[in-house]
Amino acid sequence: MIKTSQGLFEGMECIQLDNGKLSLWVTSQVGPRVLGLSLNGGENMFYVDRDAKIPVEGKENYSLRGGHRLWYAPERPETTYIADDLPPATVTIQNGLELIQNVDAATGIQKSWQVMRKKPGLL
């Protein structure tokens, strides 16, 4: 069974998913982006730096933030570094969440993730 709770993680509004062994934090503030992953009681396995930015020619600086994000391949600044500065739509699904980013007007790309426990007995 997956338990969910809301709160601050690494200074950002997040939803925590916890199956009793593993905890995952997805930010509801921007994204879709996973900011944290840990075995219960352990340290975050992801690096987080809320203030890190990189320049992107012809666009605003891209906020790295850390954690793990869904990106678009092949890696090109105009598609890989689409800003994820707005909150994604968050939908509760069986055993998890779906996070859906708005369609990027310049590229037509829309990113979405389903984060769930798929098989009983697995972490």
> How far is it, in rounded angstroms, from Cα 80 to Cα 51?
19
Q: Identify the pLDDT of residue 123.
A: 52
Q: Is the pLDDT of residue 106 over 90?
A: no
Which run of H or E residues covers position 80? helix 77-80
Q: Is the pLDDT of residue 42 over 80?
A: yes
- Mean pLDDT, range 32-60, rounded to an integer: 90
Are the C-beta atoms of 8 and 123 separated by less than 8 Å? no
Buried b or exposed e, range 94-112, using 16+ CB within 10 angstroms: ebbbbbbbeeeeeeeeebe
Tell me the domain boundaries of the chain: 3-116
pLDDT digit string, tens, across residues 53-102: 988 887 788 898 999 987 878 888 888 888 888 999 999 888 889 999 99
What pTM was computed for the model?
0.85
Above pLDDT 70, what percent of the chain?
96
Q: What is the mean pLDDT of the chain?
A: 88
Strands 48-54 and 112-116, by their bridges, are: unpaired
Q: Is the pLDDT of residue 119 over 80?
A: no
Residue 3: CB atoms within 10 A of its CB come to: 10
